[in-house]
Chains A and B, each alone.
Chain A
């Protein structure tokens, strides 16, 4: 176990380079480059919240950061799961040549997504500072813990899915469907109040997605620290996905090369 971690660390130059080159090729020859990571969710949020603010009768300036925070975190999760599931297939040229720990390939995907998320979150921070500067304070430090938490969830999740996707090529398609379904039952764009009003409070209180989003929403949108319960759900997800990825990988890792 520790020797596996040592080997991943020894290859850090390689996977960091892969993550950066993914970003470079995504933005190659585009005028705005990485700025698109900021513009895209901001523009979508503006359109969405303009409509939703009218439907739900809320102030757009308050509602838009709520949507934006949900959107950028959810985009990270979708990208990590769907692209992460392809990470072995995408890296087959490397896997066929060098016997490196396979976990570096999902890590490459997740690291790239984290960088894109960091860029996107500058849009959110700017908006919140302008629209509700009264929330600024020490508790904003808690929002930074979102990054290690997302890495802790996204990396094992992507690894786990990559093992299945190497064998079952239907997986990315069904994942899209699954995430769509989870989006509908989670307070990502819809506010918790909407669910509670419909007697669906279980979809908020026991929903790990809600607790994950609270890590960033509590400080930025309400000026308060996230609760211990929020963190407990996050660490629960990290523990769950890590142990699943380890259990599956223990048997599956060495055979992946046969399925590429």
Chain B
């Protein structure tokens, strides 16, 4: 049972209670049996000077998001926006607290990961659909629509390794947004490809948002946050410091930014 795939009911809902997320420093330090053995034998911290500590990414988060809500996440780099999205997607296990996500989750992050470089763009459409848990018959029905949206011309039948980075993002975007979900999690995906594609992508994201019951969007782009969301959450060092209407959240975020800037200036 992952929290991301609980039952799909009429009332889609996200509920977090006292959620902690900790990245164990063991994951960066103990990479070999040797270091483990040495540390157990020596019984003292390996390098006291530049020691790496556990990263407490989310601290005591309490949050309720109901059906129909459009939520924007604000915060500085490293404030915990992506961590929160990944917890909601069921990717990261929480260290403490409880988490309930009701509804089919569709997460759009790390889009260009997971292509098979030797296979053609067309084959990769099928493969990525399977990764998302869709069945082959459905993907074959979707194929033409995805090919048309990605608009890669004859390159769709070339191996993905011949694609430019921009082309890869276009294809990944076209596939991943072909199907929506009840709970849509976005991490700065609006910003892929050239001007014309950006316009198409924005429209597509809008229609996905319209289909979704719940949207959680993490972004630094205040304009799109204001236009897409009604509710804003401000995160700072893993803590939820503001929860309210998006305009008030933006104002709160800007004021903390100003305070930090002033501190840095002195």
Hey, which bits of chain A sit against chain B, CB under 8 A?
3, 7, 10-11, 13-14, 17, 21, 25, 28, 93-94, 96-100, 167-170, 254-255, 257-259
Q: Is the interface of A mostly helix, strand, loop or mixed?
A: helix
Q: Give residues 1-51 of B contacting A (CB, 8 Å).
A: 1-2, 4-5, 23-24, 27, 30-34, 36
Distance (whole angstroms) from the CB of B260 to the closest CB of chain A: 29
- Chain B hits for A98, CB < 8 A: 91, 131-133
Distance (whole angstroms) from the CB of B215 to the closest CB of chain A: 19
- Chain A hits for B32, CB < 8 A: 168-170
Contacting residue for B133 out of A14, A28, A257, A259, CB 8 A: A14
Q: Is the pair A11, B133 in contact by a Cβ cutoff of 8 Å?
A: yes
Besides A14-B133, A97-B110, 8 other CB < 8 A contacts?
Answer: A11-B130, A93-B113, A96-B91, A99-B2, A168-B32, A170-B32, A255-B93, A258-B23
- Chain B hits for A254, CB < 8 A: 93
Q: Is the interface of B mostly helix, strand, loop or mixed?
A: loop
CA distance A17 to B128 in the complex (A): 11
Distance (whole angstroms) from the CB of B185 to the closest CB of chain A: 11
| 20 A-B pairs (CB sep. < 8 Å) | A10-B133, A13-B136, A17-B127, A17-B130, A21-B116, A21-B119, A25-B116, A93-B114, A97-B91, A97-B109, A97-B113, A97-B131, A99-B4, A99-B5, A99-B90, A168-B30, A168-B32, A170-B34, A255-B93, A258-B27
CA distance A131 to B33 in the complex (A): 49
Q: Is the pair A170, B33 in contact by a Cβ cutoff of 8 Å?
A: yes
Q: Give residues 160-179 of B contacting A (CB, 8 Å).
A: none
- Chain B hits for A7, CB < 8 A: 5
- By beta carbon, the residue of chain B nearest A15 is B130
Most buried by A among B131, B135, B136: B131
- Chain B hits for A13, CB < 8 A: 130, 135-136
Given A14-B133, A257-B91: A28 and B118 interface contact (C-beta under 8 Å): yes
Interface status of B92 (Cβ within 8 A of chain A): yes
Q: Is the pair A99, B130 in contact by a Cβ cutoff of 8 Å?
A: no
- Chain B hits for A169, CB < 8 A: 31-32
Distance (whole angstroms) from the CB of B116 to the closest CB of chain A: 6
- By beta carbon, the residue of chain B nearest A4 is B1
Q: Is the pair B92, A257 in contact by a Cβ cutoff of 8 Å?
A: yes
Q: Is the pair B107, A97 in contact by a Cβ cutoff of 8 Å?
A: yes
- Chain A hits for B136, CB < 8 A: 13
Interface status of B89 (Cβ within 8 A of chain A): yes
Q: Is the pair A96, B5 in contact by a Cβ cutoff of 8 Å?
A: no
- Chain A hits for B118, CB < 8 A: 25, 28
B33-77: CB near A (< 8 Å → 1, else 0) gives: 110100000000000000000000000000000000000000000
